[in-house]
Chains A and B, each alone.
Chain A
Amino acid sequence: MITYLQNNSEVVLAALRQHIALALIPVVLGFLIALPIGYLGVRVPWLYHPLVNVCGVLYSIPSLALFVFLPVLLGTKILSPLNIVVALTIYTVALLARTVADGLRSVDALVIESATAMGYRRVRRLVDVELPVALPVILAGLRVATVANISLVSVGALIGVGGLGQLFTRGFQLFYLEPILVGIILSVLLAAVADLIIVLIQRAVTPWTRFAGSRA
């Protein structure tokens, strides 16, 4: 495996770079889109259940089906990386919009009432109180979305754009184990590192959660 890596370092690195971009751009885009949608699901209470259902349906569409279906909707070429980015963004939104809504709904009503009674106006209350308190739930969702995205990118190799997935198809065609193993290990490692980074960010920005539950 080491020799394979030495002989193919450029190919592997290029695949890794593409993999990171294909997985993480959708995380960022999806997060930004999911925030207002999730908020809407809380602000307008009757929207919550339809939101959850639509997200559930979107998330249940198999990735390969979504990858090949998007060119019809977007008018992109079937081999365009844009299909992967859009598809993974859709999954991220489907996962996070619900998480954002659940996170905001989990904020203790008494806390919101106190903030209102102290004279917070709606927007500032959202930014200063509700979002920070919901952050642990939202970041937990972000971890799931990030890890899922990193593993899903590979499927794109079947339509020609799949980051590390290209190592799988190459190994499979040549009946050659090394690239497949390298691809799997790098993909799992990448997911673990990304997960760890989010955990560290979470520790840094939500220090109070370390004490939650220490008292009833």
Chain B
Amino acid sequence: MITFDDVVKVYPGGGTAVDHVSLELPTGRTTVLVGPSGCGKTTSLRMINRLISPTSGRVLIDGQDVAQQDEALLRRGIGYVIQHAGLFPHRTVLDNVATVPVLVGKTRREARAAALGLLERVGLDPALAKRYPAQLSGGQQQRVGVARALAADPPIMLMDEPFSAVDPVVREGLHREFLRLQQDLGKTIAMVTHDIDEAIKLGDVVAIFRQGGTLAQVGTPQELLADPADGFVAEFVGRDRGLRSLSFDTAADLPVKPVPDDLELDGAGRPVGWRKTNETVPTGGTFTKTDSLRLVTDLAILSPVGIAVRVGEDGAADGVVRHRDLVDHLEARRSS
């Protein structure tokens, strides 16, 4: 666990970057620090690996004050990923990834062998190992940055706007990759972003900072969407937060109606389309119990007949949901 204990950072120029922040980042989880520019989120992140020292207060890792530890050794145990990756231009991809293992005393051969495995782990073709960073695309560079941070298998990872320098399509892919990796690795991650959607998508815990370096609210994405602490958070989280909050509820306890007759099924009971007078129109997609209510809503809106179709694990249709069933469900959930 990383703990901020009443941390203040005042710059010599007089600006207060971080103002009495106390925060706990749970072990094995992703905590996203988010807020407008100049809110102290990056300063806070950089105090964890002592790139910046607090003016007062303490930053603790598992109860140990980082200020008491040897800077370089502390940092070798913390992975660090930044925007544009900050790769070493003079080293090959492989040697970039091998950097920290070599620093902590592994032989170059060992470090390279391990690095090769890591490249695959972050979804990079091992054929890229001999290339230099300048020969990679932005998305590839960012993956190398992540692999480099993971190389010494540090329990903690700090990520400063890691995905903001790549285009939206690539970012989408990196997000998926990130969630998959984190599911496997269970690192304690502190990530900074200015993008609230990214924070909600990737964070187990989201800490919203406001200008002046104070914390506006800390909570799970669901909590922030459902119950913003004040106008600032509500504004920052965005207008369609009600709809977005549905992303975090699964369709597990959503009641379904029996499959109606005008849904055409194939031999295995899988939905083919809706029978109209003289044609069959596709359903436009199906959902399972593990999908989100947001997807169900989306399917019901897009469906030519206003009905979302649920399928079981075998792909066979086992129920349907209409617009008004959804509204009833949400209504019932709110009053309970």
Using CB atoms and an 8 Å cutoff, list the residues of chain A in contact with chain B: 108, 110-111, 113-121, 124, 129, 132-133, 135, 206-208, 211-215
Contacts and interface: CB of A to CB of B under 8 A. Distances in A.
Contacts of B51: 113, 116-117
Contact of A114 (B86, B90, B132): B86
Contacts of A135: 90
A206 B132 contact: no
B72 A120 contact: yes
Contact of A119 (B75, B133, B137): B75
A118 B75 contact: yes
A74 B133 CA distance: 50
Contacts of B89: 108, 111, 133, 208, 212
Given A110-B86, A120-B103, 4 more contacts: A108-B86, A114-B86, A114-B87, A118-B100
A118 B90 contact: no
B136 interface: yes
B76 interface: yes
23 contacts: A110-B82, A111-B87, A111-B89, A113-B86, A114-B80, A117-B78, A117-B80, A117-B82, A118-B100, A118-B103, A118-B148, A119-B71, A119-B75, A119-B76, A124-B103, A129-B90, A135-B90, A207-B132, A208-B91, A208-B132, A211-B135, A212-B89, A215-B135
Interface in B89-106: 89-91, 99-100, 103-104
B80 A211 contact: no
Chain B interface residue number, banded: 20 to 34
A215 B82 contact: no
A206 B92 CA distance: 11
A108 B133 CA distance: 14
Contacts of B76: 118-119
A208 B75 CA distance: 27
A165 B226 CA distance: 86
Contacts of A115: 88
Given A117-B51, A118-B99, A208 B87 contact: no
A94 to B, nearest CB: 27
Given A211-B132, A215-B136, A117 B88 contact: no
B69 to A, nearest CB: 11
B75 A114 contact: no
Interface in B51-101: 51, 71-78, 80, 82-91, 99-100
B73 A113 contact: no
Contacts of A114: 80, 82, 85-88
In this complex, which of A118, A129, A213 has the most chain B Cβ atoms within 10 angstroms of its Cβ?
A118
Nearest to A212: B134
B49 interface: yes
B135 A117 contact: no
Interface string B227-269: 0000000000000000000000000000000000000000000
B82 A113 contact: yes
A174 to B, nearest CB: 54
Contacts of B91: 208
A135 B91 CA distance: 13
A207 B130 CA distance: 12
Contact of B88 (A111, A124, A215): A111
B88 A133 contact: yes
A207 to B, nearest CB: 8
Please list the 10 inter-chain residue pairs (A to B) with the smallest Cβ-Cβ separation, ordered nearest first. A119-B76, A114-B86, A119-B75, A117-B80, A110-B86, A208-B132, A211-B134, A119-B72, A132-B90, A211-B135
B96 to A, nearest CB: 9
A111 B72 contact: no
Contacts of B49: 117
Contacts of A116: 51, 75
A215 B137 contact: yes
